Every structure is written in C-alpha cells, then in structure tokens.
Structure 1
Amino acid sequence: MNWNEINQQSDIAYLLEHFGYFHDGCLREMHMWTGTYVNEDLSMVVPGELDTNVKLLFQRQYANPCAIELFFEGVTGIQIIPSPENYDSIIRDAIIIKLEDTFYWADDYNWHPIENPDACSNWISAKKMKWREVNDWMDKKNRYGD
C-alpha cells in the first residue's frame, strides 16, 4: 500500500473528490505517537523538531474507496470531540486546507483555522500529509491495536 503525498491544491482536490468529501463516512480509529521517549537507562530523548505524528482511519458507505488512512507528520494542533450520547458520529462533508506550510483536515466543510477555529469540529493540522486506500480495513476490527 503506497502513500500518496499531498503537496498542492490539486492533490487536495483529488483526495476530496476521490473519497467523496468523506460524506457518509466516519473516523474509525486514531493512532498518535511522538519521537520523545525514555531509554532503558531512564534517560529522556527529546527531538528538537516537531515530533508528533497521527494516523487516522476513515470508513465510508461507498465503494472505491471505502476506507482510507490519513497520515499527518509534524502535527501542530489537534481537536477531537467525541459525539455525545444519542448523537451519531457520521461525517457529512470534510475539508482539507493548505495555508502557507500547514495542512488542515476538518470534518466540517465550513470550518476554517482562522475564521472559525473554535467551531465544534474535529480537526488536525500538520506540516506534512499523506493518504492511502485501505479498502480491506472495513468492519469493527481495530487496525491500530486493541
């Protein structure tokens, strides 16, 4: 499964159109890690650059593709708000924006990082963004661990 890098507006447009703007989709899983860690001798390793990375798994009710994975490198911000009881977590339409050297993904087409950053939307921002189809990752099974 090869990763498709997002570099310019045409890459963003292709992904959004290819995955139907995430319509009738859901964020199934999230995996986050950093480059900071503690060695066996209990010494801390702290990189000097942005070291947070996130993978998001999305599934949707349409084929070709029915599941994709987004990979964000050098994460600069993230907001994930769980749906309250008796509400669904269905994505109606999502947006991807590139401002200067940062990519933004949000689960609301009207969200914007400058005009309405505090809107009750799930969003993530990062310096690099990639995606790939993972059509065999459907159903309830966790792909990033139990």
Structure 2
Amino acid sequence: MWNEIKSEKDLKSFMDTVCGFHDSCIKEIKYISGAYVDETLSMLPINTQRTLSVIIQRQFENPSVVEMQFVGLKYLRLFPIDEDYTCEILDTTMILKKDCIYWCDCGGLSATDIENYTGTAICASKVRWRAADEYIGSDEIYVAI
C-alpha cells in the first residue's frame, strides 16, 4: 500500500517511521521519463511521467526496506561515493514546499542548502512511499525483462 506525503504531519510521521533514514543505504534507483521510440521509429520526445523510484534498505526492522516514488521529478543529483568510502546514510533532510518536496542524504539542511548541496538530492512534485521488506538483500529489484 502506498502512502502519500501531502502535509507536514505526513512528512513527520514518515521521517519518524524511518528514523530519518539513519543507518540506511540507497540500493537501487529506476527512472521512467515517459518518452519513447516505437516500432516504426517514431518518437514521443515528451517526459510525460518523470517518475523516480528509489529503494532504501535500513539496518532496522519495521520497515527494513522503503520504496519511495518521486512523481513529477524536477531533478536528481546523484553523487555516489566511490568504492574507497562507505555510502551509508546517517541522516536525511526532507522538506515539503507548496509546489515540491525535497529529499537529500544529509540531515539538517534548508531548501536553499539542498539546492546547493553537493551530495545526493532529489526534488519532485509529489512523493509516495511504502514498506517493501520483501526487497531486503542483494538481489536486484528493478531488472529488465
């Protein structure tokens, strides 16, 4: 079941549920633009969907895995740490504004800070989430068929 974050109350409840994503990691990301080329090689070059799905695994139960969908993606800035460093998330910032919601992998930031942040940051029109504990482990979830 998907839970939408529409209000500050929803946001606070979500962040409490995931303990601010302490001791978490981004496992997978999938983006669907909505644009495509069909069998006749005609193109629909419009980003009609702009949906980013993110699986985050946590070292806690209830839930151990959270899947988030950022709908109406405005931007994704992905700065993965290289293999010589760890990538665990210790804290995050989520900010709900009138026309968008922000998420980043660093705690205590303002909306202006997030816009200038050099780590991973996401901005979208809407966000929904669900517990997805069936996705625990190393198996890929977003695999091509």
Question: What is the TM-score normalised by the length of structure 2?
Answer: 0.92
1:101, CA displacement in angstroms?
Answer: 1.1
Identity %: 28
Secondary structure of residue in 2 paired with 1:115: helix
Q: Does the residue aligned with 2:72 lie in a helix, a strand or coil?
A: strand
Please give the residue correspondences for 1:46-57 in structure 2 after superposition, counting only pairs within 5 Å.
46-47=45-46, 51-57=49-55
Matched with 1:45 is 44
CA–CA distance in structure 2, aligned partners of residues 117 and 34 of structure 1: 22
Distance apart, 1:39 and its partner CA: 1.5
Conservation of the 8 A alpha-carbon contact between 2:79 and 2:120:
yes
Once the two structures are superposed, the pairs formed by residues 24-43 of structure 1 within 5 Å of their partners are: 24-43=23-42
Q: Distance in 2 between matches of 1:105 and 1:25?
A: 14
The change in CA–CA distance for 1:64 and 1:98 in structure 2 (over 3 A counts) is same
Q: Which runs of 5+ in 2 are unaligned?
A: none
Aligned residue pairs, count = 144
Partner of 1:94: 92
Offset of 1:116 from its aligned partner?
Answer: 5.0
Query: Aligned letter for 1:104?
Result: Y
Per the TM alignment, residue 111 of structure 1 is displaced from its structure 2 partner at its CA by: 3.0
Greater alpha carbon shift after TM alignment, 30-39 vs 103-112: 103-112
For 2:6, the aligned partner's letter is N
| Partner of residue 81, structure 2 | 83
Could you say which residue in structure 1 is the equivalent of 2:18? 19
Letter in 2 for 1:43: S
Task: Identify unmatched segments of 5+ residues in structure 1.
Answer: none
In terms of mean alpha carbon deviation, does 114-123 or 97-106 score higher? Answer: 114-123
Task: Find the aligned partners of 2:99 and 2:10 in 1 and give their Cα distance.
Answer: 15
1:104 to 102, 105, 114: 102
CA distance in 1: counterparts of 2:42 and 2:105, whole angstroms: 39
**Partner of residue 144, structure 1:** 142
Deviation per residue, 1:36-55 (Å, 9 max, x gap): 111211111134x7531100
**CA–CA distance in structure 1, aligned partners of residues 104 and 143 of structure 2:** 24
AA in 1 matched with 2:2: W
**TM superposition shift of 1:84:** 2.1
- Aligned residue identity for 1:71: Q
Indicate which of 59, 64, 67 corresponds to 1:66.
64
